[in-house]
Amino acid sequence: HLGKLHLLAIMDDRSRFIVKARWFRSDRAHHVLRVLRDAFDACGLPNGMLSDNGSQFKNVQGDTNTTRYYRLLCLLDVKPIFHRPRHPEAKGKLERWFGFVQSSFIPDARKALDDNPSMDLEAFNKMFQEWLEWYNHRHEHSSLDGTAPAKVYLEHPRRIQRDLHATIDWDKWIGIFETRKVTKQ
């Protein structure tokens, strides 16, 4: 009954720690910027962000410097990095995590939705945040020698911590802009 949902997530490359993730009804740019805002407020700024070539990150013509995503990252001194088209290995860790969400979270979520048909998106995201807390702090990750991602993320000796010191008008960046084509009628 929730319809098609899109999961937007930010993962730390070294630790596989999910900095922020949330389900939305679309994967439009303003949702991406909401996830960025929440991630930067909670964990500070990364040196760079690797993303795919979706229209929310990069214009269809390939001109990156006109998207709000690109301009915001540059304003915050975060290097935007785009993986090569048709090269899924560049974001393999995140793709494997999405697969893990499918196999680990989705079956329980489907059962919860069957048991509670009136569940809304907010409640669904709350349930997901509880699962994400388990994943980040208690899941023994095989690629991390059985260590939880949060332990590696928070305790790594070379961890980069750049707090968000810029004053950003998030409403301006996250606002929804639509271009509409109309006729005389």
Q: Which tens digits make up the pLDDT trace of 70-93?
A: 888 888 888 988 887 777 777 788
Are 7 and 106 in contact by the 8 Å Cβ rule? The answer is no
67 vs 63: CA distance, rounded Å: 8
Cβ contacts of 182 within 8 Å, gap of 6 or more:
none
Stretch 151-170: mean pLDDT, rounded? 74
Are 148 and 29 in contact by the 8 Å Cβ rule? The answer is no
19 vs 50: CA distance, rounded Å: 14
pLDDT value of residue 178: 61
11 vs 140: CA distance, rounded Å: 17
Residue with tokens 């979270």: 105
Mean pLDDT rounded to a whole number for the chain: 85
- pTM listed for this prediction: 0.82
Q: Which two tokens stand for residue 138?
A: 């208690």
Residue with tokens 């994967």: 27
Q: Which two tokens stand for residue 44?
A: 């500070």
pLDDT value of residue 176: 59
pLDDT value of residue 182: 76
Q: Phi and psi (nearest 5°) for 17?
A: -70, 130
pLDDT tens-digit profile of 114-145? 999 999 999 999 999 999 999 999 999 888 88
Q: Which residue has the higher pLDDT, 120 or 66?
A: 120
Stretch 51-80: mean pLDDT, rounded? 79
Q: Which residue has the higher pLDDT, 162 or 6?
A: 6
pLDDT value of residue 42: 87
